[in-house]
Amino acid sequence: MYEDMIKVEFVSLADTDINPGAKKCDIKVFYLGENRNHSYIDKPTAMEMSKSLRGVPIVGWYSAEKKDFRDHGEEMVINGDGITKNIKTNAYGFVPTNAEVWFQDFFETDENGYKVKRTYLMTYGYIWTG
């Protein structure tokens, strides 16, 4: 059910001089406090987690049916041959190894329709658009 709440959001796309087919963007990684999956992330934990962001690909699974990004695209297949895990993601960009991280507040509507202020861990990356 959480997949309906996942919204990939790249903030402030900007042209770059490194590649005409890439745009620099700010990325909302996750917000502090209790998350949709009921985990809780405080600021010190978020800073520790942010160390793993640098140098990673930006991946996702785009659903043509929904015309939106859905999730990280893992699918379990059970058939006569056993159980296999299919990864349906594609790479759409990357987070550079020197990327900075910061916190930024956003006002959003939660799953109950209430306006809430959420503090996001942010970084930047490059999305291939060409």
What does the pLDDT look like over 89-121, one tens digit per residue?
Answer: 888 899 999 999 999 999 999 888 999 999 999
The first and second tokens of residue 67, run together, are: 């015309």
Range of the domain at 28: 2-59+91-128
Asked whether residue 21 is assigned to any structural domain, the reply reads yes
- pLDDT at residue 44, as a whole number: 96
- pLDDT at residue 119, as a whole number: 96
Asked whether residue 49 is assigned to any structural domain, the reply reads yes
Asked whether residue 69 is assigned to any structural domain, the reply reads no
Asked whether residue 77 is assigned to any structural domain, the reply reads no
Half-sphere exposure of 49 (CA within 13 A, CB side): 16
Asked whether residue 95 is assigned to any structural domain, the reply reads yes
pTM assigned to the model: 0.74
Using alpha carbons only, give the angle 57, 106, 17 rounded to the nearest 5 degrees: 40
The first and second tokens of residue 95, run together, are: 């987070």
Asked whether residue 20 is assigned to any structural domain, the reply reads yes
Asked whether residue 81 is assigned to any structural domain, the reply reads no
Q: Are 14 and 77 spatial neighbours (Cβ–Cβ below 8 Å)? A: no
Asked whether residue 79 is assigned to any structural domain, the reply reads no
Contacts of 48 (CB under 8 A, 6+ apart): none
- pLDDT at residue 1, as a whole number: 33
Least reliable range by pLDDT among 23-27, 36-40, 68-72: 68-72
